[in-house]
Structures are given as structure tokens and as C-alpha cells.
Amino acid sequence: MEHRQLVIIGAGAAGLTAAIYGRRAGLDTLVLERGLYGGMINSTAEVENYPGTKRVTGMALAAAFREQAESFGPEFRSCGVQRVVLRGGRDGKVVVTDAGEISADALIIASGAEFSKVGCEGEEKFLGKGVSYCAVCDGAFYDGAPVAVIGGGNAAVEEAEYLTQFASRVYIIHRREEFRADASIVERVLSNTKIEPVLGCVVDEIYGGDMVEGVRVTRLGTGEKKRILTEGVFIFVGIKPTADFLEGSPIERSKSGWIITDDKMETSIDGVFAAGDIREKFLRQVVTAAGDGAAAAMAAYEYISNLKYFEDALFGHPHAYALLTSSIVPEHISLARDAEDWKKSSHAHIVFIDAHRSRRVMDELGVSELPSLVELKDGVTVRVAGASSLDDVINFVREVAP
Ligand SMILES: Cc1cc2nc3c(=O)[nH]c(=O)nc-3n(C[C@H](O)[C@H](O)[C@H](O)COP(=O)(O)OP(=O)(O)OC[C@H]3O[C@@H](n4cnc5c(N)ncnc54)[C@H](O)[C@@H]3O)c2cc1C
């Protein structure tokens, strides 16, 4: 099976930034992408909050990300990831794609998010026949025609404004009486005479013949029903994680399916990192996705370096000892320090492991509590014991394994 040091799923802002950092750290890096390189930002008309670019189209920013990533030489492969299989061990992270299987030392999941559906009648039937989730992609088809936008957040309101350059009228239908979007954006957009807010209403049906002809809405509270004639319906009612390929995987996720990480982008599985919109996080934007990608790649680099170190110093040595402690427990830190001092006068080959940073190694060595001592012969654990003092370390090393 093909094996790579670092495999990145998704080439959006997070995945491409991870590729830049991964390659700059010298990692053999493969990026898998099933859609457009640059990801979600391709569907945004204008970005004006990414530092260093005052105003740029989403597509131009996406292209710049790819060009910069490409200059560091990662491999890009156009294919879809169908499953991630986690079996444990060095070759145990397997990415199943529609073009074969690849195992990886470390994996970064940067598969982003996708649009939520309204769930009303006609939404699926008229997809591509008047229903769209991307104003930049489809807005120009509605030159001189009325369109409706469903949603009330920043994306809905901004995309409604974008559509005014083509459409004769843009209705923004939102279930609440007020928009959720930033006040400054709402003020600007509502001053546009082509925009007509339809607040406090839900869409029951998108109807038409071959193509969309209108929407039926109900006013919440009064139950009043009305039709709005429109040729296009643009839906921006939120996003959900793109994580179909993680169905049944042990990677910890929130109730809504976002991947839970720490600030090093580590997931609940050693060597598996997540970056960008797919994470459970406060702000889903290009700038935070890029930041996540950088952190994930550097954490993956540290993980892979540790992996190599353990392989050489521990599993590849004929007779080794390991002292496993946790770098966040003061007593463990001083025990490790004392043992390191003692090691200088002994001839034993002792490897010091911070198990807080490397949970996987505890499993591999058969250790369940800290601090612990392990004796290995030819890479195989022959003895394990707890250790609470330097004397325990000295006695363990002086004893001979049965
Ligand atoms: C309408 C709209 C307007 C926005 N405007 C702004 C803005 O002005 N400023 C801003 O900062 N942010 C904006 N955002 C948010 C921004 O687009 C995202 O936060 C950012 O793109 C997230 O990047 P990402 O790399 O995490 O994910 P994405 O960009 O979503 O990239 C994920 C990639 O993974 C790929 N992928 C997913 N599943 C698989 C699979 N199974 N196999 C292979 N590949 C896979 C996808 O094809 C995709 O290319 C906007 C978003 C929308 C929807």
C-alpha cells in the first residue's frame, strides 16, 4: 500500500496552509481534494477581511493559496476520500479514496463544511433548476429576474447584495424578525433599493414547472400564507461539517458532528489532526482556517519526529528502558530530571517519554498509568512497573528481566 508521511484531506484554506507548513518542515506531503482547489472560498464574491488583501475575489484568493502551496512541492491528487480507517500502529491510519488506499504517519482532516438544507418541498427537485447554494456561481443566470435569498446571517445578507447586480429584485426571507448578520452589513444592504426583506416568514415550498417559478411562505405568528414570484432561490441557512467519510470512526466529534481538537489541532486519535471549518470552533473564516492549518502541520511534524525517535531509540534498540512521565505533573517532571542525572553514571539505555504528548506510545508499550517503567528487548516489552521515586528507577534497571 502507498505510504506517506503526511496526508491532508481537503485543499481549502486550511489544507493548503497545512501543505505549505508541512513541506517547509520537510515532510513528504500528499493533499487529496475531490472538488475545487481553494475550497469554499471559491464560492464567495468578495473577501475583504483576509489580512494583506484589501479586497479580493474568493476565486483569486483560492488561486493564490494554491499557487503558493504548489511552490513548496507537495503532491496534489484529485480524488475523493470515502473512508478513514484507524487500526493503530504506524501504518494504521489508512485513507480509502476512490483512487486507492494510502496509509500515513499523520493525517490532517481539513474537509471543511457544506451548506445546510432548508428541508422544504421543492428544494431538491429544483436544485440546478433555480435552486442554488452559490450566488457567485449562479447569480449571473438571473439577469433582470426576481430572486429570493433564504437566510438571515452574514452569508445570506452579503450574497443578497451581490445578487442585486443581476436581479431585478432580491427578496431576503428570514424566519426571525431581525437579521443575524453584522449590523453594519445589514444597514448597507437594506439601503439598496433592489432588496426587499421578508421577515418572520418560513418557506413552505419552492414551486414551478420545469424551472422555479416562486416560493410559498407562511408568516410565523399569524399563519398568513403568501406567494412570492421568483425565478431563483439562493439558500444560505447555515453550514454543517463535511464528514460523511468519518461515519463510524472513533474520532471524537460534537453533537453536531464538528471534530473536537485541542489548540494543537490534535483530535482524540494520536497522529490525526483536524483544521479549519471542520473543527468545533468559535469563528469559521479563511484567516482562522489558515491558522489552524499551520498549527496542525507543525503538530503533525512534531508527532512524526517523535515517532521516528521512538522507532530508532526504543523499538530499534536491542535492550532499552523507557521512563514514561507526564510533562504537566510537577512530581513527574522532577522524577524524569533525577533519572536523567542518574542515567549519566549508569550504562543503561533509557529513553524518556512525555506520555502527555504521546498517548499512543503508552498503548504500544502496554502501560496504563504514569509514571511507569518499561524494559524492551528487540523492540518487545518484557517488563512494566510503576515508578514513584528515583530508587524505583534504579532498582528496575538493576533487576534482570525474567
Ligand atoms: C457564501 C460564503 C461567504 C464567505 N465569505 C467569507 C469571507 O468574506 N471571509 C472569510 O474569511 N470567510 C468567508 N467564508 C468562510 C470561508 O469560506 C471558510 O471559513 C473557509 O473556506 C474554510 O476553509 P477550510 O479549508 O476549512 O474548508 P473548505 O474551504 O470548505 O475546504 C475543504 C475542502 O475539502 C474538500 N473535501 C471535503 N470532503 C472531501 C473528501 N471526502 N475527499 C476529498 N476532499 C474533500 C472540499 O472539496 C473542499 O475543497 C464564507 C463562506 C461562505 C459559504
The CATH number covering residue 208 comes to 3.50.50.60
- Ligand 1 pocket mutation pick from 40, 66, 81, 109 by most atoms within 8 angstroms of CB: 40
Say how many Å lie between the first and final Cα of the chain, rounded.
38
- Ligand 1 pocket mutation pick from 20, 36, 43, 44 by most atoms within 8 angstroms of CB: 44
Task: Give the range among 92-101, 118-127, 129-138, 286-295 with minimum mean pLDDT.
Answer: 129-138
Query: Ligand 1 mean position to 187 CA, how many Å?
Result: 26
Tell whether the model's pLDDT for residue 45 goes beyond 80. no
Question: Would you state the pLDDT for residue 149?
Answer: 97
- 174 in the same domain as 102: no
Q: What are phi and psi of 110, to 5 degrees?
A: -135, 50
Query: Ligand 1 mean position to 370 CA, how many Å?
Result: 41
**Segment 253-312, tens digit of pLDDT:** 999 999 999 999 999 998 999 999 999 999 889 999 999 999 999 999 999 998 888 888
| Residue 322 in contact with ligand 1 by CB distance below 6 A | no
Partners of 162 in the beta sheet?
A: none
Cis geometry, peptide bond prior to residue 371 (ω within 30 degrees of 0): yes
Rounded CA gap, 33 and 29, in Å?
Answer: 13
Residue 63 binned pLDDT confidence (cut-offs 50, 70, 90): very high
Q: Among 261, 292, 309, give the residue marking a domain's end.
A: 309
| Residue 286 in contact with ligand 1 by CB distance below 6 A | yes
| Residue 7 in contact with ligand 1 by CB distance below 6 A | no
Mean pLDDT of 115-138: 91
Query: Ligand 1 mean position to 1 CA, how many Å?
Result: 30
Residue 374 belongs to domain with CATH number: 3.40.30.10
**Segment 218-247, tens digit of pLDDT:** 999 899 999 999 999 999 998 899 999 999
- 137 in the same domain as 110: no
Question: Would you state the pLDDT for residue 29?
Answer: 98
- 248 in the same domain as 302: yes
Other CB atoms within a 10 A radius of the CB of residue 87 amount to: 9
For the chain, give the number of residues: 402
Nearest CA to ligand 1 atom 41: 81
Rounded CA gap, 321 and 288, in Å?
Answer: 42
Nearest CA to ligand 1 atom 47: 35
Rounded CA gap, 272 and 187, in Å?
Answer: 43
Instruction: Locate the ligand 1 atom nearest the alpha carbon of residue 286 and give its number.
Output: 11
Beta-carbon contacts of residue 102 (< 8 Å; ≥ 6 apart): 1, 2, 3, 4, 7, 30, 94, 95
Nearest CA to ligand 1 atom 38: 111
Nearest CA to ligand 1 atom 27: 112
SS3 115: strand
Total structural domains within the chain: 3
- 251 in the same domain as 213: no
CA 347 to chain centre: 46
Q: Among 291, 309, 327, give the residue marking a domain's end.
A: 309
Parent domain of 157:
131-235
Q: What are phi and psi of 241, to 5 degrees?
A: -65, 140
Question: Would you state the pLDDT for residue 362?
Answer: 85
Within-domain flag for 122: no
**Segment 384-395, tens digit of pLDDT:** 999 999 999 999
Mean pLDDT of 95-122: 96
- 245 in the same domain as 185: no
| Residue 42 in contact with ligand 1 by CB distance below 6 A | no
- 191 in the same domain as 175: yes
Contact indicator for 381, 365 with CB cutoff of 8 Å: yes
Q: C-alpha angle 81/82/88, rounded to 5°?
A: 90
Query: Ligand 1 mean position to 401 CA, how many Å?
Result: 55
CA 88 to chain centre: 21
- 251 in the same domain as 215: no
| Residue 34 in contact with ligand 1 by CB distance below 6 A | yes
Q: Look up residue 381 and give its amino acid.
A: T
Grid cell 530508532 in the structure block, residue: 312
- 219 in the same domain as 245: no
Tell whether the model's pLDDT for residue 131 goes beyond 80. yes
Partners of 235 in the beta sheet?
A: 150
Within-domain flag for 123: no
| Residue 287 in contact with ligand 1 by CB distance below 6 A | yes
Instruction: Locate the ligand 1 atom nearest the alpha carbon of residue 36 and give its number.
Output: 49
Q: Residue 345 is placed in which grid cell?
A: 553514571
| Residue 290 in contact with ligand 1 by CB distance below 6 A | no
| Residue 50 in contact with ligand 1 by CB distance below 6 A | yes
Residue 86 binned pLDDT confidence (cut-offs 50, 70, 90): very high
Query: Ligand 1 mean position to 40 CA, how many Å?
Result: 3
Contact indicator for 42, 13 with CB cutoff of 8 Å: no
| Residue 110 in contact with ligand 1 by CB distance below 6 A | yes
Rounded CA gap, 25 and 19, in Å?
Answer: 10
- 166 in the same domain as 26: no
- 247 in the same domain as 195: no
Instruction: Locate the ligand 1 atom nearest the alpha carbon of residue 47 and give its number.
Output: 8
Active-site amino acid positions:
134, 137-138
Instruction: Locate the ligand 1 atom nearest the alpha carbon of residue 79 and give its number.
Output: 43
Tell whether the model's pLDDT for residue 322 goes beyond 60. yes
Cα dihedral 132→133→134→140 (10° resolution): 20
Instruction: Locate the ligand 1 atom nearest the alpha carbon of residue 159 and give its number.
Output: 1
Query: Ligand 1 mean position to 358 CA, how many Å?
Result: 30
Work out the mean pLDDT of the chain and round it to a whole number: 93
Query: Ligand 1 mean position to 81 CA, how many Å?
Result: 16
Q: In Å, what is the CA distance from 171 to each residue of 152, 174, 214, 230? A: 11, 10, 11, 9
Q: What is the β-pairing status of strands 100-109 and 319-325?
A: unpaired
Mean pLDDT of 176-198: 93
| Residue 155 in contact with ligand 1 by CB distance below 6 A | yes
